[in-house]
Amino acid sequence: MWTQYAARGLCRLLPLRCALCGEATDPGARHAMFCEPCDARLTFRAAETHLIGDVRVTTPHVFSGAVRHALHELKFRGNTPLARPLGEALGFALGNVPAGRVWLVPVPLHWRRRWVRGHDQAAALALVAARARPGFRARRVLRRRRPTTSQVGLGSEARGANVRNAFAVRWRYREALAGARVVVVDDVATTGATLKAARDALLRVGVRAVTLAAVAAVLPGSVALARELGDDVSAER
């Protein structure tokens, strides 16, 4: 009994901290886990479609500032509460996807990498984004056939070769996917090579329409910059 009181007392003493910047937060805010400025920066503003490499990618954000920091925290530091605002923004950005049943399919990690990392950021983002509309459902339809080497520091051609044929549709989903509408979901779109490889795997089993989506797009010009800075978040895997 006393432990409950002690725990409650401790919660009052320790102010809640923003999961992104560490500032004290208002417990009554929309996302009590973020301070207001961070919440505003992570919130959906407008859906944009960017030409990344030779594919069109729908995103709510550009890869910079707080969004870039948040994606880094989610992916490499296991800061999983960040999947919520980022996934919600992604869900809103998919407002133009025609109504009806839509599969939200995360770009898969190789099981070994997932095991080491302990979480799968694209799957978490797809789950949150799927709450945006009744017809959406998130399913881990794709599997990675082999672990691809990290994309960090590779040029776009090398990236393409690295991920080509890297994905396959799991057997149990093949029939259900024929004629379906799918949105492929990833955290960051850098060269489009990973999303394109995922799309190709889906088209091979007869999926009717594929939309490519990511929480943030690395815009042309900043790809080189991101690489120069050794920014590992810009790696698609």
Residues that bind Zn ion (CB under 5 A): 18, 20-21, 23, 35, 38
Closest CB 18 distance from Zn ion, rounded Å: 3
Nearer to Zn ion, 41 or 50 (CB): 41
Nearer to Zn ion, 41 or 196 (CB): 41
Closest CB 25 distance from Zn ion, rounded Å: 7
Nearer to Zn ion, 73 or 236 (CB): 73
Chain Cα centroid distance, residue 166? 18
Closest CB 173 distance from Zn ion, rounded Å: 39
Q: Tell how strand 167-169 and strand 142-144 pair up.
A: antiparallel
Nearer to Zn ion, 19 or 188 (CB): 19
Considering Cα of 85, then 76, then 218, then 197, what sign does the dihedral take?
Answer: negative
Closest CB 36 distance from Zn ion, rounded Å: 8
Three-state secondary structure of 129-146: HHHHCCCEEECCCEEECC
Nearer to Zn ion, 20 or 132 (CB): 20
Segment holding 187, helix H or strand E: strand 181-189
Half-sphere exposure of 187 (CA within 13 A, CB side): 29
> Which SS3 state, helix, strand or coil, does residue 235 take?
coil
> Which SS3 state, helix, strand or coil, does residue 20 take?
coil
With vertex at residue 102, the alpha carbon angle to CA 101 and CA 105, rounded to the nearest 5 degrees, is: 145
